[in-house]
Amino acid sequence: MEKEKIKQAAEMIIKAEYPVVLTGAGISAESGVPTFRGKSGLWKKYDPEAAVSIAGFRRDPEPFWDFAQDLLLENDIQPNPGHIALAELEKLGIIKKIITQNIDFLHQRAGSEEVLELHGTLNRATCLNCKKKYDWKDLVPVIEAGNIPECDNCQSNKIKPDIVFFGERLPQDALKQAWQAAERSDLMIVIGTSLAVYPVASLPSVTKENGGELIYLNVDSGQQDYLFDLIIKGKAGEILPEILKMID
């Protein structure tokens, strides 16, 4: 049955003029990035208010850096075959945009260029005091040593990654571009998200309302399954390469 669905997905992608992709934590989980919700999610271990709220970070940045180490530094996180297949589909001129809720920059590391990061990225950071910019890779040795990064310009310990904390607005330019892509898209492929977090969870409806089709790829059911024209249960790292083979 899944082989037939994979074939159908490939046919839908080939037919589409402006296919876009929306990804969530599920695709990154296949690379070893911990998820936030669920039985073993990070919110069972960390208090979101202390770890990833802007008010909590301003009070004390240490809980965030403990959280960040658990999120990305405990494992050797690398793009998986799902990320790589999406990058290949972009290089072929098929996928036009990847809209992601993920902050791990795995899409870019896999080779994707047209990526809209709706929750920001850990790839960059900014000192909240003097606004000096930092690359994530320059902060990693400090974090791995168990220390809190300090700004070498003003000595503040409030270097904040450019991710959206609770209490902050989503990046409005990226959100506007995502909405425009969803409106233009005649096919949206939703991967690894339960569509529980708004306003991002509204994007498939935008495509649907504008006459587009929807494909859902995830290991579990989502909260908007009724919207989708095709649902494939499984791992992105296994199914997306199979779709790519049928297209390439």
Q: How sure is the predictor about 36, in pLDDT bands with cuts at 50, 70 and 90?
A: low
Q: How sure is the predictor about 50, in pLDDT bands with cuts at 50, 70 and 90?
A: confident
Q: Higher model confidence: residue 238 or residue 225?
A: 238
Mean pLDDT throughout 48-59? 84
**Of 205, 210, 189, nearest to 86 (Cα)?**
189
Structure tokens at 12: 């839908």
Q: Is 83 a catalytic residue?
A: no
Q: What is the pLDDT of residue 35?
A: 67
Q: What is the pLDDT of residue 73?
A: 59
Asked if 139 and 155 count as a contact pair (C-beta separation under 8 A), the reply is: no
Q: What is the pLDDT of residue 245?
A: 94
Which residue has tokens 């403990």?
A: 66
Catalytic entry in 97, 107, 119, 235: 119
- DSSP-assigned beta bridge partners for residue 133: 126
Examine the pLDDT at 71 and tell me if it is beyond 90: no
Q: What is the pLDDT of residue 214?
A: 97
Q: What is the pLDDT of residue 52?
A: 83
Domains of the chain: 1-33+79-119+170-248 (3.40.50.1220), 34-74+120-163 (3.30.1600.10)
Q: How far apart are the first and last CA of the chain?
A: 22
Q: How sure is the predictor about 187, in pLDDT bands with cuts at 50, 70 and 90?
A: very high
Q: What is the pLDDT of residue 209?
A: 96
Q: How many residues does the chain have?
A: 248
Q: How sure is the predictor about 95, in pLDDT bands with cuts at 50, 70 and 90?
A: very high
Work out the percent of the chain whose per-residue pLDDT is above 70.
Answer: 91
Q: What is the pLDDT of residue 181?
A: 98
Examine the pLDDT at 39 and tell me if it is beyond 70: no
Annotate 24-75 with three-state secondary structure. Answer: CHHHHHCCCCCCCCCCCCHHHCCCHHHHHEHHHHHHCCHHHHHHHHHHHHCC
Examine the pLDDT at 51 and tell me if it is beyond 90: no
Q: What is the pLDDT of residue 2?
A: 80
Examine the pLDDT at 74 and tell me if it is beyond 60: no
**Of 243, 221, 216, 209, nearest to 232 (Cα)?**
216
* Long-range Cβ pairs for the range 59-62 (8 Å, 24+): 61/148, 61/157, 61/158, 61/159, 61/160, 62/148
Which tens digit of pLDDT belongs to each residue from 116-170? 999 998 889 999 999 999 998 888 888 888 889 999 999 999 999 999 998 999 9
Q: With 0-12 CB in 10 A as exposed, 13-18 as middle and 19+ as buried, what is 114?
A: middle
